Amino acid sequence: MLFVGSAITAIATGRATLTSLREVAPTRYEAGVFSETYAGEKWLEIDGRLAREYADLRPSSRSKGRANLDVPVVPPDWSPDRPVALIASFSIDSSVPLDWEELCQGERCELLRGEVRAGLFGPAPNDFPERVPELRFVDDPVAINIGTEPTPPWTLGGLSVFMCLTALASGLGLRGEYLERCGGGGGGP
C-alpha cells in the first residue's frame, strides 16, 4: 500500500512541478475568445468581467468557516444567450456578508489571476453549470481559483524525489519479502 500511495503522490507532485517550471508567469487571455484560444495552461490571467448577477455562494466542503463563491467570467459585451467558458472561484470568509467592493480591491477583479482548478489527474469536475441552469456553458468550462499560483518547483520537486525514493524502497522491500516467501524464486520447473 505504501508503494502505491508513494507512486501516486510522486506522479501528482511531479506533474505539478513540471507545470511550475514550464509556467513562470500566468498566460493572459481575453474572456471573449478564451474557449477558442485556450491551450491547456494551468496558471492564467483573464481580462473579463464578473457576471455578478449569476454568482453562486456555497459552504466550503474542505475548510470550516469558508465559503466558495463561483462567478461566470465574461467579456464586457456579453449577454446571457452566449455560452460561458470561464468560472472564477473565490474562497471567502463565510462569517461575514459578501462585500463585492472588498472582494475586488485593486485590479483583483479586472485581471483575474489564478490556477485552473485541478483534480489528481486533470481538471476537477465542475458542477457550476448544474447550479446555474439558466445560463449556457461550453462543454468543459474552466474554473480558476482566484488568487492562487503554482507552488515553487523546489518544494514539489523535493517531495517528488522523496516519494520516488519511498516507492522504490517499499517496492524493493516487497520484492525481498516475495522472494523470501517463495523460496528464492526465479528458477523454472
Domain that holds residue 38: 26-146
Say if residue 43 is in the same domain as residue 19: no
Q: How confident is the model at residue 65 (pLDDT cuts 50, 70, 90)?
A: confident
Confidence at residue 102, expressed as pLDDT on a 0 to 100 scale: 83
Say if residue 95 is in the same domain as residue 182: no
For the chain, what is the domain count?
2
Give pLDDT tens digits for 108-164.
677 888 888 865 445 556 788 888 889 999 988 999 988 887 766 556 556 667 777
Confidence at residue 167, expressed as pLDDT on a 0 to 100 scale: 73
Say if residue 72 is in the same domain as residue 122: yes
- Distance, CA of 74 to CA of 54 (rounded, Å): 11
Q: Which of 32, 43, 42 lies closest to 73, judged by CA?
A: 32
User: Which residues have C-beta within 8 Å of that of residue 70, sequence separation ≥ 6?
Assistant: 55, 56, 58, 87, 88, 89, 90, 128, 131, 143
Give pLDDT tens digits for 6-60.
666 666 666 666 666 676 788 899 999 999 999 888 889 999 999 999 999 988 8
More confident residue, 84 or 6: 84
- Residue 143 burial class via C-beta count within 10 angstroms: exposed 0-12, middle 13-18, buried 19 and up: buried
Confidence at residue 13, expressed as pLDDT on a 0 to 100 scale: 62
Beta-strand ranges (E) seen in the chain are 27-30, 43-47, 49-50, 56-59, 66-74, 84-93, 111-116, 118-119, 122-123, 137-146
Confidence at residue 29, expressed as pLDDT on a 0 to 100 scale: 93
* Whether the Cβ atoms of residue 27 and residue 43 lie closer than 8 Å to each other: yes
Confidence at residue 11, expressed as pLDDT on a 0 to 100 scale: 63
Confidence at residue 119, expressed as pLDDT on a 0 to 100 scale: 56
Say if residue 168 is in the same domain as residue 125: no
Say if residue 31 is in the same domain as residue 121: yes
Say if residue 19 is in the same domain as residue 30: no
Say if residue 87 is in the same domain as residue 74: yes
Residue 84 has pLDDT above 70, yes or no: yes
Q: β-pairing, 43-47 with 27-30?
A: parallel
Say if residue 111 is in the same domain as residue 163: no
- Distance, CA of 18 to CA of 149 (rounded, Å): 14
DSSP character string of 11-41 = HHHHHHHHHHHH-SSPEEEEGGGHHHH----
Say if residue 60 is in the same domain as residue 111: yes
Say if residue 117 is in the same domain as residue 168: no
